[in-house]
Amino acid sequence: MGLIHALRGFIKSFLVVLLWSKCEGRESEFNYVTCGSLVKLLNTRHNVRLHSHDVKYGSGSGQQSVTGVESADDANSYWRIRGKPNGTCQRGVPIQCGQAIRITHMTTGRNLHTHHFSSPLSNNQEVSAFGENGEGDDLDVWKVQCDGSIWERDEAVRFKHVGTDAFLTVTGEQYGHPIRGQREVHGMGTANHNNYWKAMEGVFIQPSQEPLRHNHEEF
């Protein structure tokens, strides 16, 4: 099974690179995060990107772990922005501030998720990746909190969990083996400087046009 997961991850990563190879590589004038976009999300306080992998928590829910990594070029840090279950999120349409979304891990197809389990290091609220092939449950839904009306690509935003009111947060705790140096990602009930995130590298979908590459990353 491990070989199958690794092969799937390689194929998905290859397809992303192939997609980018068709783009012009210029900075887009389209400055919004849109439905269907594939992005890396940077915690601006701790300078780590939201990350997951097929490694389960050894405590709490036992679901797939979610962490923060310093590396900018890890394929396991790509997440797709999607609409909530049974909601409308038309491909290429800008995400509104306050809109409910799902954030789906590219290589494993599981959704960013939180629930009332304690996180392993800080004893805050555990954040995991949950579901299969992009389908989980109501605890996969987050609201984008931003200052204007639309989520801008260069803007630091917060993600507030709809089911528990927790904010997606990093406070700096580091794991040991087997994911040594990766940071704990957890849910926290208070809005503060530890729960700001910014869209970085990615494929940003425009309505009726080919996706445009964000030029933070080179291949």
Reported as type and span, the H/E element at residue 212 is: strand 212-213
Per-residue pLDDT of the chain (219 residues; tens, 9 = 90+): 444 544 455 445 444 434 443 333 333 447 999 999 999 999 999 999 999 999 999 999 999 999 999 999 999 999 999 999 988 899 999 999 999 999 999 999 999 999 999 999 999 999 999 999 999 999 999 999 999 999 999 999 999 999 999 999 999 999 998 899 999 999 999 999 999 999 999 999 987 655 555 544 322
Q: Cβ distance 118 to 164 under 8 Å? A: no
Is residue 42 within 8 Å of residue 155, measured between CB atoms?
no
Residue with tokens 């700001």: 196
Question: First CA to last CA across the chain, in angstroms?
Answer: 29
96 touches 88 (CB < 8 A): no
